[in-house]
Amino acid sequence: MVTTSQHVERSDDEREDAELNPVFVRPGEATALPKFRMPADESLPETAFQIVRDEAMLDGNARLNLATFVGTWMDDYASRLYLDAADKNMIDKDEYPQTAAIETRCWTMLADLWHAPDPDHTIGTSTIGSSEACMLAGLALKRHWQHARKAAGKPSDAPNLVMSSAVQVCWEKFCNYFEVEPRFVPVSLDHKVLDGHDLASYVDENTIGVVAIMGVTYTGMYEPVEQLAAALDQIEADTGLDVKLHVDGASGGMIAPFVQPDLAWDFRVGRVVSINTSGHKYGLVYPGIGWVVWRTAEYLPDDLVLKVSYLGGEMPTFALNFSRPGAQVLLQYYLLLRLGRDGYRRVQEACRDVAVYLSGEIGKLAPFELWNDGSDIPVFAWRLRDGYTQNWNLYHLSDRLRMKGWLVPAYPMPADLADITVQRVVVRNGFSHDLADAFLADLKAEVDYLDALSGPMPSERQQPGFHH
């Protein structure tokens, strides 16, 4: 193990020397600092900066990360705002009342965008991301159900939540952490998303709600919210059970209002009581912001909202964390003002166009079969055509693309379809037609490479590195 003695106990001369020395040959740079123990002594800021920056350089390039849904580009004004507000803690609402007021304006705008019956009398909050937003929405469903059960003199100790087997992991976490039985409706080739088929077998008097996903993480497909509501209407007519919907619009919550404005997936559907989105996905902000809005205050039980007084004032809080960045809220507000509805529409349509173009081109390639085409949210997935090759798979292709800097994950579909591997591209703001063409060229070249490597006669193989 490297000891800290290599960079400590410096005399004045040594310190001066350290400052004069060229970068990369100063103590701590020419040597190594310990990685898993806190160093005993200080380093020059330049040295620590250089070390951290150099390590981070080994990460993938965020703009070429086609795996993430999360914003990887903001303009210079946003960067300035970010720096200005980096020191603001969102919880300090008494101290930063303007940031708190802006937070309220943001979720009120979302309530309006999502057709809340009375946006000025809804309730909502920012969160650290959609995961927290989903947990808060899930907790509200659970508590609401518990109150109703207790009022009816019925047991409330075995709640369940009905959702697709292709939900994002945050819903599994919610069920695990908050002791709710998850009831997964399996996706299948006939029912690629939760569509209401056989819903009655999953819903009972202990069901706290049904989750509909606008933009399934695995594939980007929308679940038909109106159709799910109709299935629940039928269940109510048959059994008297009035089961509500939460819409997980982590991605689609900021796509559908602009790209599919006539699609009724939001509070226009009477059974939808809450909606979440990730401000840091198609809300176009850097990581660290989500939103959740309830149809009316009635669906967020009062006893979930705690009042804290130790920051001055008496602040209501409904959140899993206490402290979190305030800057992201300001960034979200900046974008809502900067882009407006028309700007968001143009950005999201541009992403959709690139996604549909790219999926069209990939669908034409011999090895691939599209799962969907990116016309819901600008996300699409494909699989290897049955019988195309035994010699390589999408994991190999993912590795090859990584060598070119493109991060394109391959993964199994959820339970029941887990023998199907797909590969997915998430098109985000900043993934231009030019970049899409560059990606396509690399994808084709890597397919040729893999095909050639696994060709019939070893002697006919092209040498790696000489192929392109």
Site residues, ligand PLP (CB under 6 A): 69, 129-131, 134, 168, 170, 213, 215, 217, 248, 250-251, 278, 290
Q: Which is nearer to ligand PLP, 71 or 326 (CB)?
A: 71
Under 8 Å between Cβ of 393 and 367: no
DSSP annotation of 222 reads B
Which residue carries 């209501």 as its tokens? 316
Q: Which is nearer to ligand PLP, 125 or 130 (CB)?
A: 130
Nearest approach, Cβ of residue 341 and ligand PLP (Å): 23
Torsion of CA 397, 398, 400, 405, to 10 degrees: 150
| Residues 56, 49 contacting (CB under 8 angstroms) | no
Minimum Å distance from CB 332 to ligand PLP?
Answer: 13
* 160 vs 251 by CB, closer to ligand PLP: 251
Q: Name the minimum Å distance from CB 435 to ligand PLP.
A: 21
Q: Which residues contact 261 (CB under 8 A, 6 or more apart)?
A: none
Question: How would you list the strands of the sheet with 410-412, edge to edge?
Answer: 368-370, 379-384, 421-426, 410-412
Q: Nearest approach, Cβ of 4 to ligand PLP (angstroms)?
A: 37
Q: Which is nearer to ligand PLP, 47 or 276 (CB)?
A: 276
Q: Give me the least distance between CB of 444 and ligand PLP, in Å please.
A: 28
- CB 246 to ligand PLP: min, Å: 11
Distance (Å) of CA 230 to CA 46, 210, 227, 268, 380: 62, 13, 5, 13, 27
Per-residue buried b or exposed e for 361-396, using 16+ beta carbons within 10 Å of the residue's own CB: ebeeeebbebbbbbbbbbbbbbbbeeeeeeebbbeb
- Residue (18 or 329) nearer to ligand PLP, CB: 329
At residue 282, what are phi and psi to the nearest 5 degrees?
A: -80, 5
- Based on CB atoms, which residue is closest to ligand PLP, 122 or 278? 278
